[in-house]
Amino acid sequence: MNEGTIGKSTISVPHLTLGTMSFPLDKQSVVTLLSRALDQGIIHIDTADLYDFGQNEALLGQFIKHHRDQIVLTTKVGNHFNPKTKDWFWDPSSQYIKTAAKNSLQRLQTDYIDLYLLHGGTIKDPIDESIEAFEQLKKSGTIRAYGISSIRPNVINAYMNKSNIDAVMMQYSMLDRRPEEWLDVLHEQQISVLARGPLAKGMLSSHALSSIVKKGKNGYLDYNYNELRQTTEQLFSLDEPLEKLAFQYVLKHPAVVSAVFGTSNETQLLTNGQYVNLAPMNDELYQTIQQITKKSFYTMHRE
């Protein structure tokens, strides 16, 4: 199994991570999906306390309690939610982070979290206070490592300079190349990138054209509808499965330790999971894709 180490921690993960946000809300489906993932060597499972207002973690926990030693577990915190009213607000306070960690442990039926991520964030947050909470959780053994899920340059820069984060989760794909400005510096700082959304809502999959009609009809980031179709057709002409190219592309830079793909059914899981042991993309193909796609840039939240 191809794998990499998250940041400066001792946590090893395969190059594909299973995101569970779209999981169905029934136990048998969750058991089936997680069993198939482990069978394929996809041992890194990504969730968040906000997904289905805690139900996602609770369903995962019914499986995890029987397979904890086989699983690397990531969850997220920062959205203070009420599971009854389904309301939430942003709360990166130390008190909430520590309380939410206890609640996640109960739902997940485990006594530790491998990687704990702040689920968003702004430059106006009490960042020092948030960092202190994560450090205390790490010192107590509640979590093994921590990081942030954010693409905001000012937030990434603040945590990179103030904390001991091991990972940054960022949306990254051939159609969303905004994170590329960060890859070299994060790699130099031994901070790993978890690339979420590598298939761009299915627009970088074998069903790309139908996905573009449904999800890209009003465009996607720097692409209008026609550009999406033209770009996808050029990628198809490379004569490789689009899923394979999508994963290989984001994994090309050594800063990226794993690509996080979501699934809602077994067919999607088996299709994507076959690429868990991908060989690296060659330089020529990588450069060709960079010529086909746009080099996008995140213009907001820079100060």
Enzyme catalytic residues: 51
| C-alpha dihedral sign at 257, 262, 266, 270 | negative
**Could you give the CA distance from residue 203 to residue 284 in angstroms, rounded to a whole number?**
23
**Residue 241 DSSP code:** -
> How many residues would you count in the chain?
303
CA angle 84, 88, 91 (to 5 degrees): 130
Rounded Cα–Cα distance for residues 12 and 101 (Å): 22
Residue 193, C-beta contacts closer than 8 angstroms, at least 6 positions apart: 167, 168, 169, 170, 172, 179, 182, 183, 186, 253, 255, 256, 257
The whole-angstrom separation of Cα 217 and Cα 109 is: 42
The number of beta carbons lying within 10 Å of the beta carbon of residue 90 is: 14
* Phi, then psi, of 17 in degrees rounded to 5: -120, 140
CA distance 272 to 287: 23
Judged on CB neighbours under 10 Å (0-12, 13-18, 19+), 301 is middle
User: With contact defined as beta carbons under 8 Å apart, do 166 and 140 qualify?
Assistant: no
Non-local (6+) Cβ contacts of 138 within 8 A are: 144, 145, 146
CA angle 59, 140, 63 (to 5 degrees): 15
